[in-house]
């Protein structure tokens, strides 16, 4: 009985301690500037867009606002100072060959000592040059191993793209810190930037044909990276762009990227920073994207109209479906990416003219894992929440000194 009490008490003390430590770390920035979860009501979200739209009347006015929004992300996520020129030191192993594509397990260092982990899907058919697509996933239990992620990556590879499915911080093989780390947004955004570097380091990848698509929290990563990095040529955020919902996880809204003492924005405007590059908004009727055809999409299309490129933004809306990246979502995404990244839709189309993913081999999680007994993580990896915090803060101090 006493041992049980000690165990329960010890566990409770550890949890409370962890929560307190996370809370204290989070106080490094002004909590009143955070816009989290359903920050607005639906009506307030729509009204906010109308207020934002009144601040500009032409392309020059929008671009001035866009610069402030982009700077707000950059500063709010504390990205300045994080290194983009350190060696990636890629680890690539365990190649498997399937029907029209291959899969490998990969890791690389986004910061010395911190590893981005995932799987690399490549087309089996050789090409002179390759499009490349980043595939961030949403929340769940190790979603990189999920069937939907595997199917979309394999299909896009068979269409001719090199595809990188990579873990959110704290999921899959990326267990050097917890997912709820207060700087998860900073770290994941940086990881995505370095993921482009990794793809461009591969032979014959075309730097003008880089795309990204992810759902839910991966949708947030999709539009954030597109907003910040012009190397993204095509963007497809799935079931995430909303006028009133800002993302409920610290990796989406746990740092002040939407608001500062002199500006306020929402994920709709952040997504609009993709203009005039091709973008497909994927939405459904059973989550916070249910109003997309009437609210979010028209706002973003009006931004594209300022560039004379409104045809480059589209909305694939499924009013009877819910929050996922299911087959009907993918059926809308594949043609869009095929068109704008010069991929072969015919490679995944059956004799009846329908998109067919039956060729995909869905692998077990243990096969997809990067680090295991045969392939261990390098001993110098930075481990633990405190150690990762100190690592990130060390670069912030460096940036401060440089100023």
Q: Please state which of the ranges 29-43, 171-185, 344-358, 369-383 shows the lowest mean pLDDT.
A: 29-43
Q: Is 85 helix (H, G, I), strand (E, B) or coil?
A: coil
Q: Any bridge partners for residue 236, and if so which?
A: 213
C-beta separation of 228 from 193 below 8 A: yes
C-beta separation of 216 from 282 below 8 A: no
| Digit-coded pLDDT (tens) for 279-306 | 999 999 999 999 999 999 999 999 999 9
Q: Does residue 403 have a pLDDT over 50?
A: no
Alpha helices per DSSP H over 90-213: 147-158, 184-200
State the CATH class of domain 91-368: alpha beta
pTM, two decimals, is 0.91
Distance, CA of 265 to CA of 55 (rounded, Å): 12
Written as six digits, the tokens of 15 are: 């949890």
C-beta separation of 170 from 115 below 8 A: no
The reply to whether omega before 391 is within 30° of 0 (cis) is no
CB-hemisphere CA count at 13 Å for 167?
29
Distance, CA of 207 to CA of 229 (rounded, Å): 12
Domain boundaries, the chain: 91-368
Q: Is 92 helix (H, G, I), strand (E, B) or coil?
A: strand
**Residue bearing the bigger pLDDT, 402 or 75:** 75
Written as six digits, the tokens of 372 are: 């295991």
| Digit-coded pLDDT (tens) for 198-249 | 999 999 999 999 999 999 999 999 999 999 999 999 999 999 999 999 999 9
Q: Is 64 helix (H, G, I), strand (E, B) or coil?
A: helix
Q: Is 20 helix (H, G, I), strand (E, B) or coil?
A: helix
Q: Does residue 396 have a pLDDT over 70?
A: yes
Average pLDDT, the chain: 92
pLDDT (average), residues 49-57? 97
């Amino acid at each position: 009985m006493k041992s049980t009490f000690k165990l329960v008490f010890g566990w409770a003390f550890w949890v409370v301690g962890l929560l307190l430590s996370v809370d204290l770390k989070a106080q490094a920035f002004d909590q009143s500037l955070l816009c989290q979860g359903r920050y607005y009501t639906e009506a307030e979200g729509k009204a906010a867009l109308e207020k934002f739209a009144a601040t500009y009347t032409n392309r020059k006015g929008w671009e001035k606002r866009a610069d402030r929004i982009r700077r707000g992300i950059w500063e709010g996520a504390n990205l300045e100072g994080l290194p983009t020129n350190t060696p990636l030191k890629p680890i690539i192993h365990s190649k498997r060959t399937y029907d029209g594509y291959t899969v490998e397990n990969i890791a690389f260092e986004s910061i010395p000592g911190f590893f981005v982990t995932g799987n690399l899907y490549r087309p089996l058919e050789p090409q002179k040059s390759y499009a490349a697509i980043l595939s961030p996933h949403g929340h769940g239990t190790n979603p990189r191993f999920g069937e939907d992620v595997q199917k979309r990556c394999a299909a896009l590879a068979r269409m001719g793209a090199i595809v990188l499915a990579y873990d959110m911080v704290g999921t899959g093989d990326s267990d050097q810190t917890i997912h709820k780390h207060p700087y998860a947004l900073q770290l994941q955004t940086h990881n995505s930037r370095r993921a482009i570097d990794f793809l461009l380091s591969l032979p014959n990848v075309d730097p003008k044909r880089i795309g990204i698509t992810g759902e839910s929290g991966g949708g947030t990563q999709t539009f954030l990276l597109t907003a910040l990095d012009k190397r993204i040529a095509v963007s497809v955020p799935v079931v995430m762009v909303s006028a009133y919902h800002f993302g409920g996880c610290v990796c989406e809204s746990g740092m002040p990227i939407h608001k500062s003492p002199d500006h306020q924005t929402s994920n709709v405007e952040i997504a609009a920073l993709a203009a005039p590059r091709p973008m497909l908004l994927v939405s459904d009727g059973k989550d916070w994207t249910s109003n997309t055809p009437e609210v979010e999409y028209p706002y973003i299309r009006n931004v594209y109209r300022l560039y004379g490129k409104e045809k480059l933004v589209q909305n694939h809306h499924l009013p009877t479906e819910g929050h996922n990246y299911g087959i009907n979502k993918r059926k809308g995404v594949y043609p869009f990416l095929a068109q704008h990244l010069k991929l072969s839709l015919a490679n995944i189309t059956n004799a009846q003219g329908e998109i067919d993913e039956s060729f995909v081999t869905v692998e077990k999680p243990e096969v997809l894992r990067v680090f295991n007994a045969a392939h261990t993580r390098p001993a110098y990896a930075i481990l633990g929440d405190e150690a990762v915090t100190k690592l990130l803060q060390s670069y912030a101090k460096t940036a401060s000194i440089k100023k």
